[in-house]
Amino acid sequence: MSHAISEDLLRRFDVSGPRYTSYPTADRFVEAFTENQYIQALEQRRAGSMALPLSLYVHIPFCESVCYYCACNKVITKHHSRAAEYLRYLAREVELQVAHLGTGHNVSQLHLGGGTPTFLSDAELEDLMAMLRRHFTLVPGGEYSVEVDPRTVTEERLKTLARLGFNRLSFGVQDFDPAVQKAVHRVQPAGQVFELVAAARRIGFESVNVDLIYGLPLQTPESFARTLAQVSELRPDRIALYAYAHLPSRFKPQRRIVAAELPSGGDKLGMLSMSLDKLMAEGYVYVGMDHFALPNDALAVAKRQGRLHRNFQGYSTQPDCDLIALGVSAIGRIGATYSQNAKTLEEYRDLLDQGRLPIVRGLALTRDDLLRRAVIMSLMCQGEVLFESIELGHLINFRSYFARELDVLEGLETNGLVRLSPTGIQVTETGWFLVRAIAMVFDKNLQVDLDRARFSRII
């Protein structure tokens, strides 16, 4: 058992809830938010925020084969020729964006996600980066990351990624056990991952992340312990440890998973508890929300220094900034707005063919949304809320405005998750492991919507 949190407490707070990569969460976006509202937000930024850096997200949806657990927006195909057409549409989307935004904006964070970004060939990756650099300025010291399927790269490909400016890699591992890999249709030998991580270190990538998932079919506490031992030997700079959410009614690939082969709730809880013990014993810092980092990694340093931020890609070391989202289904943020692109390739292409940005839904945040976002992100990133800071920034009386929420927090204080004082709210060491439950207290939408089936479980 983890010295920081008991299994009883984990079980008590094993409820469904958002991951808060944004507030309000993406399920609250509406189709009434139009392309015109997004363009207005771009032009307002152009008029007043040129000096502030941007973040870029590019969604590459293609995968050669389907992973049964996956809930991402993806297109399964072995026809790599489809990528060339997609890149032409991405270029068209960027041109439409910068027509309203202006060119040359500084970018301090770039993330290629998917799908499988390494589905693209070296030449296509070079074309993509050249296109982005024509319109944006990637500043020195930024965080430039790409998601990597180990089955799609070699050491030479990693050298290409480094030459193109990427300084962080995220390898999708999930589990090293061969039976589990077969059950989720993602077979990749552990030796392949070890060789690639070693190559990434020789090449000089600043940080290597490994994604793991607990709760997959055929996993047991014993088998996952073996995976954790291999991960400890691999010693990546960062680890993302996610709970598998089995939602076959929403995600068709999950219907291929045999439900009877999923671990029990008790075993899943045991895997989490064991993982917390093992990773912290190995010297990893619990950053928050399933993320671990070695003490000298930039993410752990940012947490110690109170500089942690959170956006649609998760935790970040880069200052909170506007996010330009490119590609099918991509979600962005400009000013006090969120927006999402069309979710199918057909609709995405059709809108661009009409000369329109492919925005199909989004949200213009209210004053209350902005206030609650500030509180939730402060909890998620800094682990505290200072009443005076929120009051000065939003012109409210915190205790009066959030009287109901403070009453609820008193119960969480009894459970040892927070400490309340006359000046603010402090997340405890134990509370960090359940910070989603603490943030949910301030989610106004959850207060009026008790149906949380749309969200994954916290544990």
Per-residue pLDDT band at 1 (split at 50, 70, 90): very low
As a whole number of angstroms, the distance between CA 236 and CA 231 comes to 7
pLDDT at 18 over 50: yes
pLDDT at 426 over 80: yes
Residue 390: which of 375, 380, 411, 412 has the closest Cα?
A: 375
What is the per-residue pLDDT for 449?
57
Tell me how crowded residue 332 is: count the other CB atoms within 10 A of its CB. 25
- Please determine, looking at this structure, whether the domain spanning 1-24+366-459 carries the CATH number 2.30.30.220: no
Average pLDDT over residues 302-321: 85
What is the per-residue pLDDT for 433?
84
Tell me what the pLDDT averaged over the chain comes to.
92
Average pLDDT over residues 214-236: 97
As a whole number of angstroms, the distance between CA 67 and CA 74 comes to 10
Residue 266: which of 14, 5, 3, 2 has the closest Cα?
A: 14
As a whole number of angstroms, the distance between CA 197 and CA 193 comes to 6
Tell me how crowded residue 50 is: count the other CB atoms within 10 A of its CB. 12
What is the per-residue pLDDT for 458?
58
Q: What is the pLDDT of residues 254-264, one digit of tens each?
A: 999 999 999 99
Q: What is the pLDDT of residues 120-166, one digit of tens each?
A: 999 999 999 999 999 999 999 899 999 999 999 999 999 999 999 99
Q: What is the pLDDT of residues 27-40, one digit of tens each?
A: 999 999 999 999 99
Comparing 54 with 16, the larger pLDDT belongs to 54
Token code pair at residue 188: 């990749």
Residue 69: which of 204, 195, 216, 194 has the closest Cα?
A: 216
What is the per-residue pLDDT for 451?
47
Tell me how crowded residue 42 is: count the other CB atoms within 10 A of its CB. 23
Look-up: residue for tokens 């319109």? 135
What is the per-residue pLDDT for 346?
97
As a whole number of angstroms, the distance between CA 211 and CA 228 comes to 12
pLDDT at 2 over 60: no
As a whole number of angstroms, the distance between CA 16 and CA 457 comes to 4
Per-residue pLDDT band at 49 (split at 50, 70, 90): low
In degrees, rounded to 5, the angle at the alpha carbon of residue 178 between the alpha carbons of residues 173 and 179 is: 115
pLDDT at 17 over 60: yes
pLDDT at 316 over 90: no
Average pLDDT over residues 220-229: 97
Superfamily grouping for domain 26-323: tm_1862 like domain (3.80.30.20)
pLDDT at 4 over 70: no
What is the per-residue pLDDT for 3?
52
pTM assigned to the model = 0.92
Per-residue pLDDT band at 307 (split at 50, 70, 90): confident
Most confident by average pLDDT, 199-203, 239-243, 313-317, 376-380: 199-203
Average pLDDT over residues 233-250: 93
Q: What is the pLDDT of residues 54-68, one digit of tens each?
A: 999 999 999 999 999
Share of the chain above pLDDT 90, in %: 78
As a whole number of angstroms, the distance between CA 348 and CA 342 comes to 5
Average pLDDT over residues 208-224: 96
Where are the domains positioned within the chain? 1-24+366-459, 26-323
pLDDT at 453 over 50: no
**DSSP code of residue 23:** S
Share of the chain above pLDDT 70, in %: 96
